[in-house]
Structure 1
Amino acid sequence: MKFFKSTLWAIALASIFTSCGGGVAPIVSTPIENIDTLPLKAAPLTENETKEWVAADLLTDTIPGMSVNKAYAELLSGRTGQTVIVGVIDSGVDIEHEDLKDVIWVNSKEIPGNGKDDDNNGYVDDIHGWNFLGDIVKENMEYVRYIKKLGPKFEGKSEASISATDRADYELYKKAVAEYEQEVAQANSVVTRYEQILSQVQPAHLAISAKLGKEDYTSKELAEIKNPTEAEQQQIGMLTQMLTFADTVPDVIEQLNGGIDYYKGRLSSHFNMEENFRMKNLGDNPDDFSSKYYGNGDVDGPDPKKEDAQHGTHVAGIIAAKRNNGVGMNGVANNVKIMVVRAVPDGDEYDKDIALAIRYAVDNGAKVINTSFGKYYSPHPEWVWDAIKYAAQKDVLIVNAAGNEGFDLDGVQVYPNDQKTGETSEVSDTFITIGALNYDYGSEMVASFSNYGKNNVDVFAPGVKIYSTTPLNTYEYLQGTSMAAPAVAGVAAMIRSYYPKLKAKEVKQILMNSGLTSNTPVILGGDSSNQSRFNTISKSGKMVNMYNALIMADKMSR
């Protein structure tokens, strides 16, 4: 499932309302250090600062960005690097977006639209990548698939009747059923509550907006209504509360409707026990790894509005949106071509698709792969581990999102990962897992949703309120470790572009070792009672810094 957090305030309303290059001179710049003595930023971020905070410099801006602008200005001016292909395994990408169309990979060995596999790689007309999902958009959660698969064998059975050989599957089945029941109950509860709120807010808004002659009234204007009736007093109180969640009441209504649609959508797709989306839309067996050539070359997906490609388009923009073109925003990296591999539906991805997507990206020239997705159940993790090892053998770095549940991953396993259950050694030295930073340097600089872990999260990067490309030439703020991973993928691509002799495992070491560290206690999981020092919540104890990374890369390459 895609690892990003919606910015819809409606998601928060439910809980509130329940309580009511070679040949160049070496870099001689000094790395950024000693950040614990920095003053905290006093003023709120401006609009421009918010849009560009990923590129900010902690020393000069007191914003924990990655010093991207500083690196371009002081380290890369006048230099040219090599083109690096970055594979984006995601929900699809709008390859015609105004800020991305010039940075999309083109398979020069394939002739567009001739219906032939010109390059003999097994994929017909894979011009910009491959779509392993075909026409699939919606999908089940993995635990729902487990229930469908194991239910006929275990439903209604007592624990005493289960044989020793079936014990592990039975325990997995029980866990899946418990999670399913909890998630369905929550979704139904939220829908009911949102609908109740709407049933009160909408008539109140109609009445008060008619009285004021406007729909975009403020809290101040509500307070200034003279001689309100008892009914109007109740309406004013409710609407005043609504305006603490959004700028206008129509915005609140829109967000509540969006929340209802979201949870109803989950009930009809994520938790659907009847529909087999894969067989209906693709016809492929996800448990048969011998069948590898399925899908199509439509990398932005089947939806003409490209709504299902929002996540992947946002990720691609963070990595490599065309820089300094006077349009939209700047990606972290230049000299990049985005290879689109569509393998992540609205629901949980299949292990088979992810394993094949990694192999496709590797075989077709990607040197960095971004994986902004994850799940907590995996029927075929060995397929993905083998693909991760294959990427390492081919000198490809995989940049992976840590996840958004606020979990300590040293006690919870999320997939994909590079460490088998019960083992301490990693299957690859070219797989790096990224947690998310907030733009407030200090105790709240770790995103409230971000997973963390001294052993299983490698490093942190910006992931809250990230401005980037979205389909049909639009731009939006999204947040999640899904946004932190591509920020790091962009830095990795820059290292591979300007220092191509460095190996993928060395790039990983640079990203981890060159970052900024802090001894500051930080809040974890959004729980103020759960705090640890920042330098203890990841393997490196650091946040990625492009300026420092390029300085270290320069030294290591000589």
Structure 2
Amino acid sequence: MVAPTLVHAVPCRKRIARHFDTVIRLFAGAFAGCICLLPSPALPRTSAGMSAADRCPRVAGEILVKMRAAASPAALPARSAAVRKSSAARVSRGGLWRMPIPAGLTEEEAAAELRAEAPDLVEYAEPNYIIHAEKIPDDPLFGELYALAEADGRGDIDARAAWEILTGGEVPVAVVDSGIDYEHEDLAANIWTNPGEVPGNGIDDDGNGFVDDVRGWDFFSGDNAPGDAYGHGTHVAGIIGAAGDNGRGVTGVGWKARLIPLRFMGPDGAGSLGGAVQAIDYAAKAGARVISCSWGLNVYSQALEDAIRAADAAGAIVVAAAGNSSSDNDAAPIYPSSSPSPNVISVAATDRNGNLAWFSCWGPQSVDIAAPGDEILSTVPGGGYRLMSGTSMAAPHVSGAAALAWARTPGASNTEIISEILDGAETLAPLRGMVRTSGRLNLYRTLSPGTVEPPPVTDPDLHSVSLVLNGNAFSPGGRLELSAIVGAGAQSAHTVCDGYVAALLPGGRLFFLAPGGRWSPSPVPIATGLGVTDDMDAQVGAFPVTESLPSGPYAWYAVLTAPGAGPLDGASRTSNLAHTPFAVVP
């Protein structure tokens, strides 16, 4: 998604175009934007001392107005000179309207006057901010789908293992963006079709207010052809649900997801907040289980929050990109990523090495999880493929994961699906203190909740210990190298420890590597009597592998325990994942 710029922002121009007076930026890459805050009526408005909101562009000559229940916008011109006596345009059936204002008033002045003069009619009023897409330049090198499956496992989401469980289902996913090239060879088969609409008859068959909306709607142009003249939405759509196993191009996270094109941005990547609200409202009412929002606004909007809450009430998940200003969202929030609504998943970006991408925003409280977002190959308009980078590319990986999880458990609630995604995150050291889960999306664990690492086993010696599994030679003739590391804060030393290496197969079967290189279904330590001291950071040993495992995707575990403690918790699961620090607590 494309994100608005925060603390390191380049100031917005007072007026970007005839219809632009406030900008939000899509998170397709690093962005230059502004912190847009609504001023109080008493703020000075001199050119030398403009407020942050004054410096941010918005649609000129109109505001968004939320009417109170049973109140009509037609009554407002008689109560306040802040709106003109001309027709208002409905934004949502929840009482949100787009209303023209007279010349001589700024959007903030009109909104403030309307709130003050008609409080019994108006719940709130605010400028109609503009969202603008801005992407990082494409990498000229040919890209690989490292985000889905990589040989060394450092940067991917374990998609291959997950696809052994499920490749997809026809779960509706709304792409609220710049549109989708719905005729692209890798997307056409997965474009959603409105079951209540008869194509081409000029009638609003399903009574939703949109005529012939067979495959979504274009809120930018006001028609039923939500194609993509900018490219951002098509790239996002391919990450979510490019058709899998079709012999063409790339593969999306969910091979059969039903993509709902909802366009609110024009060919320059800019669109209004009102259009975004309309698109989210449409998605929720159309039955979208997931709403993918790869864009952001660095000023709070009540209209946007209302749309997100309505989507929550409809049971939908909103997946939002965290932003690309390489800044702390806890300190400078971006919306909808920072929305407090429980149905929002905020997504940061990682690179192919599992590090937080250089451009990605973070927030240990406000950003939930990370996903691959650097140099991602996906679909673009015209039938092509291109690399793009940004949290705009990270968020759709999570959108696709949510669709897959719902295909596996159709009766689950949105909060249950969110829990499976967040609980299944793969803990990575570079993400500690950066995102709430300290982890990156792991598709296999999302679809196999039993593989989520449980709390560590009790250790009376109060050590913080890591056992790192190096190498991936798990076939006959291979060798495994184990290293033990005592982490910071160790208070005493184990004199000896036991070490285990385990493989988790589909169906929950565990096999342990035994001395001599054979695999055992019973917990057998690969080594015992391992000396561990409070300054240890050394190789434990290299062990041969002489026997093949049964076929299937594996999740690898490496566990260091006190002597005789065993590697399993009460649910008979291994106690920590390979490459994941193993905190031993009392």
In the aligned structure 2, how far is the partner of 1:478 from the partner of 1:451? 17
Map 1:325-340 → 2, pairs under 5 A: 325-340=246-261
Map 1:285-364 → 2, pairs under 5 A: 295-301=222-228, 306=229, 308=230, 310-345=231-266, 346=268, 348-364=270-286
Cα deviations by residue, 1:208-247 (Å, 9 ceiling, x for unpaired): xxxxxxxxxxxxxxxxxxxxxxxxxxxxxxxxxxxxxxxx
Amino acid corresponding to residue 278 of structure 2 in structure 1: L
Instruction: Assess if the C-alpha contact under 8 Å between 2:330 and 2:363 holds in 1.
Output: yes
In the aligned structure 2, how far is the partner of 1:85 from the partner of 1:372? 17
Q: Shift of residue 553 of structure 1?
A: 7.8
Helix, strand or coil at the partner of 1:475:
strand
In the aligned structure 1, how far is the partner of 2:338 from the partner of 2:386? 32
Instruction: Assess if the C-alpha contact under 8 Å between 2:318 and 2:343 holds in 1.
Output: yes
Amino acid corresponding to residue 322 of structure 1 in structure 2: A
Cα deviations by residue, 1:480-533 (Å, 9 ceiling, x for unpaired): 00000001101110000111122111111111111111234xxxxxxxxxxxxx
Which residue is 1:466 aligned to?
376
Which residue is 2:298 aligned to?
376
In the aligned structure 1, how far is the partner of 2:320 from the partner of 2:429? 25
Helix, strand or coil at the partner of 1:61:
coil
In the aligned structure 1, how far is the partner of 2:30 from the partner of 2:239? 17
Q: Shift of residue 397 of structure 1?
A: 0.6
Instruction: Assess if the C-alpha contact under 8 Å between 2:371 and 2:398 holds in 1.
Output: yes
Map 1:18-33 → 2, pairs under 5 A: none
Q: 2:148 aligns with which of 51, 55, 58?
A: 55
Instruction: Assess if the C-alpha contact under 8 Å between 1:82 and 1:500 holds in 2.
Output: no
In the aligned structure 2, how far is the partner of 1:81 from the partner of 1:453? 31
After TM superposition, the score normalised by the length of structure 2 is: 0.52
In the aligned structure 2, how far is the partner of 1:553 from the partner of 1:350? 43
Map 1:108-507 → 2, pairs under 5 A: 108-134=195-221, 295-301=222-228, 306=229, 308=230, 310-345=231-266, 346=268, 348-377=270-299, 381-419=301-339, 426=340, 428-441=341-354, 445-507=355-417
Which residue is 1:21 aligned to?
none
Helix, strand or coil at the partner of 2:352:
coil
Cα deviations by residue, 1:277-321 (Å, 9 ceiling, x for unpaired): xxxxxxxxxxxxxxxxxx1111005xxxx3x2x100000000100
Helix, strand or coil at the partner of 1:536:
coil
Helix, strand or coil at the partner of 2:295:
coil
Instruction: Assess if the C-alpha contact under 8 Å between 2:377 and 2:386 holds in 1.
Output: yes
Cα deviations by residue, 1:180-227 (Å, 9 ceiling, x for unpaired): xxxxxxxxxxxxxxxxxxxxxxxxxxxxxxxxxxxxxxxxxxxxxxxx
Could you say which structure has the higher helix fraction? 1
In the aligned structure 2, how far is the partner of 1:451 from the partner of 1:71? 28
Which sections of structure 2, spanning at least 5 residues, go unmatched? 1-24, 32-140, 453-586
Cα deviations by residue, 1:18-75 (Å, 9 ceiling, x for unpaired): xxxxxxxxxxxxxxxxxxxxxxxxxxxxx88x42111125xx52332100012113x2
Which residue is 1:71 aligned to?
162
Q: Shift of residue 6 of structure 1?
A: 7.9
Instruction: Assess if the C-alpha contact under 8 Å between 2:445 and 2:451 holds in 1.
Output: no
Query: Would you say 1:4 and 2:4 are equivalent positions?
Result: no
Amino acid corresponding to residue 390 of structure 1 in structure 2: A
Q: Which runs of 4+ in 1 moved over 6 A?
A: none
Amino acid corresponding to residue 357 of structure 1 in structure 2: A
Instruction: Assess if the C-alpha contact under 8 Å between 1:372 and 1:482 holds in 2.
Output: yes
Say which one has the larger Rg.
2
In the aligned structure 1, how far is the partner of 2:395 from the partner of 2:369? 10
Amino acid corresponding to residue 462 of structure 1 in structure 2: P
In the aligned structure 2, how far is the partner of 1:99 from the partner of 1:545? 24
In the aligned structure 2, how far is the partner of 1:81 from the partner of 1:6? 32
Instruction: Assess if the C-alpha contact under 8 Å between 2:192 and 2:258 holds in 1.
Output: yes
In the aligned structure 2, how far is the partner of 1:377 from the partner of 1:63? 35
Helix, strand or coil at the partner of 1:340:
strand
In the aligned structure 2, how far is the partner of 1:454 from the partner of 1:358? 27
Amino acid corresponding to residue 191 of structure 2 in structure 1: I
Which sections of structure 1, spanning at least 5 residues, go unmatched? 8-46, 135-294, 420-425, 521-533
In the aligned structure 2, how far is the partner of 1:93 from the partner of 1:553? 36
Instruction: Assess if the C-alpha contact under 8 Å between 1:131 and 1:298 holds in 2.
Output: yes
Instruction: Assess if the C-alpha contact under 8 Å between 2:321 and 2:337 holds in 1.
Output: no
Q: Shift of residue 348 of structure 1?
A: 4.7
In the aligned structure 2, how far is the partner of 1:62 from the partner of 1:93? 31
In the aligned structure 1, how far is the partner of 2:317 from the partner of 2:197? 25
Could you say which structure has the higher strand fraction? 2
Amino acid corresponding to residue 162 of structure 2 in structure 1: A
Instruction: Assess if the C-alpha contact under 8 Å between 1:385 and 1:418 holds in 2.
Output: no
Q: Cα–Cα, structure 1 residues 416 and 344, in superposed 2: closer, same or farther, change >3 Å?
A: farther
Amino acid corresponding to residue 174 of structure 2 in structure 1: G
Q: Shift of residue 81 of structure 1?
A: 6.0
In the aligned structure 2, how far is the partner of 1:81 from the partner of 1:465? 24
In the aligned structure 1, how far is the partner of 2:379 from the partner of 2:358? 24
Amino acid corresponding to residue 545 of structure 1 in structure 2: N
In the aligned structure 2, how far is the partner of 1:453 from the partner of 1:371? 18
In the aligned structure 2, how far is the partner of 1:476 from the partner of 1:470? 6
Cα deviations by residue, 1:433-470 (Å, 9 ceiling, x for unpaired): 100000023xxx11110000011111000000000000
In the aligned structure 2, how far is the partner of 1:554 from the partner of 1:387? 35
Q: Shift of residue 536 of structure 1?
A: 1.0
Q: 2:418 aligns with which of 494, 498, 508?
A: 508
Instruction: Assess if the C-alpha contact under 8 Å between 1:6 and 1:478 holds in 2.
Output: no
Q: Shift of residue 429 of structure 1?
A: 1.2
Instruction: Assess if the C-alpha contact under 8 Å between 2:174 and 2:262 holds in 1.
Output: yes
Q: Cα–Cα, structure 1 residues 113 and 413, in superposed 2: closer, same or farther, change >3 Å?
A: same
Q: Cα–Cα, structure 1 residues 133 and 405, in superposed 2: closer, same or farther, change >3 Å?
A: same
In the aligned structure 2, how far is the partner of 1:401 from the partner of 1:85? 19
In the aligned structure 2, how far is the partner of 1:62 from the partner of 1:496? 25
In the aligned structure 2, how far is the partner of 1:335 from the partner of 1:324? 10
Q: Cα–Cα, structure 1 residues 314 and 553, in superposed 2: closer, same or farther, change >3 Å?
A: farther
Q: Shift of residue 350 of structure 1?
A: 2.2
Instruction: Assess if the C-alpha contact under 8 Å between 1:130 and 1:296 holds in 2.
Output: yes
Which residue is 2:194 aligned to?
107
Amino acid corresponding to residue 314 of structure 1 in structure 2: H
In the aligned structure 2, how far is the partner of 1:403 from the partner of 1:487? 15
Amino acid corresponding to residue 121 of structure 1 in structure 2: N
In the aligned structure 2, how far is the partner of 1:476 from the partner of 1:391? 32
Identical positions, percent: 36
In the aligned structure 2, how far is the partner of 1:347 from the partner of 1:470? 14
Amino acid corresponding to residue 107 of structure 1 in structure 2: N
What is the number of residues matched between the two proteins? Answer: 322
In the aligned structure 2, how far is the partner of 1:400 from the partner of 1:92? 17
In the aligned structure 2, how far is the partner of 1:81 from the partner of 1:299? 24
Q: Shift of residue 108 of structure 1?
A: 2.4
